[in-house]
Amino acid sequence: MAVKALRRTWARAVDGRDARALLHLHRELWIDHDGRGGMPASMEDEVWVAYGLMLERQLAHRDGRRVPRGVFEGKLGHVVAELDGRVVGQVEVYLDRFGYQPRTPSVAELRSLIVTEAARGHGVGALLVREVAEASSQRAGDNALVIAEVLARNEALSFYARLGFRTLERLTAITTARPYEGRFSSAPARVEDAMELSILDHQARQRRTAWGDPRFDPPSPAIGGDLVRLIADGIALDDAQRGTEPGRIRDELIVRDRRGRARAAIYLVSAVLGPPFAPVVRAEVARIAADTEDPEAVAAAMAGLSDALERARAVGATQLLVRSAYVDPIGARVAEGEGARAFSWILAAPASTVLRRTAKP
């Protein structure tokens, strides 16, 4: 990767000399996110000292494995920006692909983008995003999609809009939910529920495609045995690992009506955050599967969310993050609920658009 200049600014692949600068940037980033309603950062100096030592080990390991001056080591890329010879910004990118069809893009997920406050206004952020977009395109071909999660209370939303990003998903934080008063039952799925879950999942994939999410292959016309087996294996694995770690949940909740029919599914995950965050439980509903045009299915989904919130509280979470497509009516209903607040947005732009919007005049 060639060193590139923009005004007095340069971007390059990270290397072992950057550990101290990265520590300061990460601390600025996560404490700032904490103040904006993100996950709480640790305020203990010893935690950050240990985190700095971990960064040193990671960069030393990376120096020994990656292609010289290359952005990527495996699927993980890492770029820093310098202003007048001083590291003032960084971004990580995770490159993966969630399909096999030629039109399905590789997904370059931006992580931990930060430009130190004193260096803003020099185009550093745009340079960093451009650098990883270009490196991802070179590695994955022209069909690459850049993804970023941005906190709702963050002026960076306008920055991403200028680069051509649009909103794909929302995360909403909830602390209260209406009880479902026996109208539905919600419980962790069993292996024998795999066929019913496959139907709900297949319908959810169809809606995701119709809503314009390009990250995944469109679903096949019919439900295949491979999908049923995959879901059954996932349930068995989640069941085997239940209770193995404090604060950990991996549960597919299946919601049934009074006649025993599966009306919705909720995938609940939680874990205790590690450094540099405070040791709190982060709980998230990663997927909702319910027919958005059926009022009974929508009510079942809301009942499942109520159950998920109670399960999250039982392992120490103080809030539940609910992920949904931006145009999902269920997600909109959750966002409008009592006590709900916008947590973050998942934004996306083709790498080609980012490169065009950040091209030098």
DSSP state of 98: B
Between the alpha carbon of residue 352 and those of residues 1, 179, 238, 284, 327, the distances in Å are 18, 47, 39, 32, 24
Quick one: fold of 4-169+348-357? Aminopeptidase (3.40.630)
- Residue 247's SS3 state is coil
Per-residue pLDDT tens over the stretch 299-319: 999 999 999 999 999 999 999
Mean pLDDT of 231-240: 94
Please state the pTM of the whole predicted model: 0.93
Q: Is 3.40.50.300 the CATH classification of the domain at 176-338?
A: no
In the chain, the amino acid numbered 261 is R
Closest C-alpha to 208, from 305, 321, 100, 324: 324
For residue 5, the model assigns a pLDDT of 47
Mean pLDDT of 261-269: 98
What DSSP string describes 193-242? GHHHHHHHHHHHHHHHHHTT-TTBPPPPSS--HHHHHHHHHHHHHHHHHT
CA distance 309 to 177: 7
For residue 172, the model assigns a pLDDT of 98
Of all residues in the chain, what percent carry a pLDDT higher than 90?
83
Mean pLDDT of 75-99: 95
What are the boundaries of each domain within the chain?
A: 4-169+348-357, 176-338
Q: 182: pLDDT confidence band, cut at 50, 70 and 90?
A: confident
Of all residues in the chain, what percent carry a pLDDT higher than 70?
96
Per-residue pLDDT tens over the stretch 128-152: 999 999 999 999 887 899 999 999 9
